[in-house]
Amino acid sequence: VTSIYSMGYMRGLKEHSQTRYFVFFALALSATIGVAFSANLLTLYLFYEMLSLATYPLVTHHQDREARASGRKYLTYILGTSIGLVLPAMLVCYHLTGTLEFANQGFLAGACSQGLAGVLLVFFIFGFAKAGIMPFHGWLPAAMVAPTPVSALLHAVAVVKVGVFSIVRIITGVFGTELLGQFDLGVVICAIASVTIIVASLIALSQDNLKRMLAFSTIGQLSYIILGVGLLSPKGITGGMLHIAMHAFGKITLFFCAGAIFVATGKRNISEMVGIGRRMPWTMGAFFVGSLSIIGLPPTGGFISKWYLVLGTLEANQMTFLFVLLSSSLLNAAYFMPVVYRAFFPPPGTAMFENRVQEAPIFCVTPPVVTAFISVALFFYPQPFFKLASMAVRFIGGN
Amino acid sequence: METITSIKPLIAVLVSICVVPLLVLCTKPNIRETWTFAAAAVKLLLVLSMLPVILKACCLPVWRHPSGL
């Protein structure tokens, strides 16, 4: 779907260097799948770095001063943390155990003290900066200078999900839930994630640039996944893993819509989109569905994952984190709903668009409609992802 | 969980890399984008083809490098 959208977007805006764009896009997808299929920490790390390097030309695609500055920031954060934190932590793990192969109860079990485990965990969590954990989140809003299909697939789905997926693999395959529970380190993970969830949601409230608002929303939503897995309870881990997929479909819809709006109208700021629902009803309809999924409301897949996250906090008896999840959902509604409301119901005399339907090219409109439809379908039929998450939880539990 | 040896995970990773020379050599945008879409479709189908095995038989398809990696 993103390939189709890329064609529509790049042609619609007559972008330069389209071959380079499609080459690095393909390489980035290979690296992403490589991370997903990695059976040990070394392979995961190598593909993680390959993804960082493959996405740099995409972030700096426009080749202007802003793009180059964002590219430098991107590489500094992503490579700096992975080389400075993950690599040494990985070497220590190998020194302690002689292996980097993921195990269902973690290969570090019984091999390190509580203090060392805490230090290694912090190194890994902050080291995988693609997960956008604060204070190493600055690259994500900066990387929004990239063409929108890049923001959509790579910075709402692939790159950022590689970050959280890596952390999930660290929690489950390197440390193991038993070891983390024994050393009370699950609470540390949840606390770090909670700070990011609340602060990112508050910052998103104040953004006028639509893509920047979506970027801060992404930072918060990624930490939902880490929070869910950090709860170390079966329902929490299930919710966290489900949220990888549910958030992906919701957020890619929103980014596709932001790009379609830009292609059709040249507008980037929310304040310039009053009454845009009259001109682009399909795009803004898809935007509404994507917003519901991110807030966690039915009938969208986001509701299913958030439901399990909430159940996970109850199962782990962690009421503080239940409060974090619920208040964050309210904040999500507070920054998404005004955009949709003003788009369809502008106050009299304030509409900035004529009452005439004029959408972006069909290659830009169809993808968000398709992904919005999938978001709704996942509410009624979440089984494929749910079964995968449940199987993973059973595997982690040793069954 | 059982593991079964399969080449599919490796092909799923390589398919986008293999299409890179074709993208570079293409002079016509339509052909270049056809290759892009073809690679995306093959990758998607490969991943989807592994799902039934995993969901029904609880097997994990793996490909191992001869060195053991």
Structure tokens given for A124: 């890994």
Confidence grade of residue B31 (pLDDT, cut at 50, 70, 90): confident
Residues of B in contact with A387 (CB under 8 A): 55
Give the distance from residue A53's alpha carbon to the nearest chain B alpha carbon, in angstroms: 14
- How many CB atoms within 10 Å of residue A366? 20
Cβ distance of B23 and A11 shorter than 8 Å:
no
The pLDDT tens digits along chain A (399 residues) read: 777 777 777 776 676 777 788 888 888 888 999 998 888 899 999 999 999 999 888 888 877 888 888 888 888 999 999 999 999 999 999 999 888 888 888 888 888 888 999 999 999 999 999 998 989 888 888 887 777 777 777 777 888 999 999 999 999 889 888 888 888 888 999 999 999 999 999 999 988 888 889 989 999 999 999 999 999 888 999 999 999 999 999 998 998 898 888 888 888 888 888 888 888 889 999 999 999 999 998 899 999 999 999 999 998 888 899 999 999 999 999 999 999 998 888 887 777 777 777 777 777 888 899 999 999 999 988 888 888 888 888 877 665
B2 membership: H or E segment, kind and range = strand B2-5
- Return the SS3 of A353: coil
Structure tokens given for A22: 């499609």
- Return the SS3 of A40: strand
pLDDT of residue B62: 61
Higher per-residue confidence, B16 vs A194: A194
d(CA A148, CA A367): 13
d(CA A311, CA A235): 6
- Cα separations in angstroms, A127 against A91, A113, A320: 14, 21, 26
Which position has the token pair 């392979």?
Answer: A43
Query: Contact A140/A57 with Cβ under 8 angstroms?
Result: no
Most A CBs within 10 Å, among B1, B13, B46, to test the A interface: B13
Query: Contact A193/A156 with Cβ under 8 angstroms?
Result: no
Residues of A in contact with B22 (CB under 8 A): none
Cis, peptide link before residue A384, omega less than 30° from 0: no
pLDDT of residue A99: 87
A16 membership: H or E segment, kind and range = none
> Is residue A11 less than 8 Å (CB to CB) from chain B?
yes
> Is residue B42 less than 8 Å (CB to CB) from chain A?
no
Most B CBs within 10 Å, among A2, A5, A7, to test the B interface: A7
The lowest-confidence range among A6-15, B3-12, B47-56 is A6-15
> Is residue A46 less than 8 Å (CB to CB) from chain B?
no
> Hey, which bits of chain A come out as E strands?
none
- How many CB atoms within 10 Å of residue A348? 5
> Is residue A397 less than 8 Å (CB to CB) from chain B?
no
Cβ distance of B17 and A7 shorter than 8 Å:
no
Cβ distance of A26 and B26 shorter than 8 Å:
no
pLDDT of residue A46: 93
pLDDT of residue A345: 87
**Angle CA A374–A242–A384, to nearest 5:** 60
d(CA B14, CA B39): 10
pLDDT of residue A65: 85
**pTM value?**
0.88
Alpha-carbon torsion angle A270, A275, A279, A282, nearest 10: 70
pLDDT of residue A364: 81
Structure tokens given for A254: 């929103």
DSSP secondary-structure letter at B61? E
Q: Which ipTM value was assigned to this complex? A: 0.82
d(CA A137, CA A126): 10
pLDDT of residue B65: 57
d(CA A116, CA B26): 53
- Cα separations in angstroms, A332 against A159, A214, A278, A338: 22, 10, 24, 11
DSSP secondary-structure letter at A355? S
- Cα separations in angstroms, B67 against A91, A184, A398, B16: 20, 37, 27, 24
Q: Pick B17's closest partner by Cβ from A11, A27, A391.
A: A27
Structure tokens given for A136: 């190493």
d(CA A283, CA A149): 15
pLDDT of residue A200: 92
Q: Pick A22's closest partner by Cβ from B32, B47, B55.
A: B32
d(CA A299, CA B27): 45
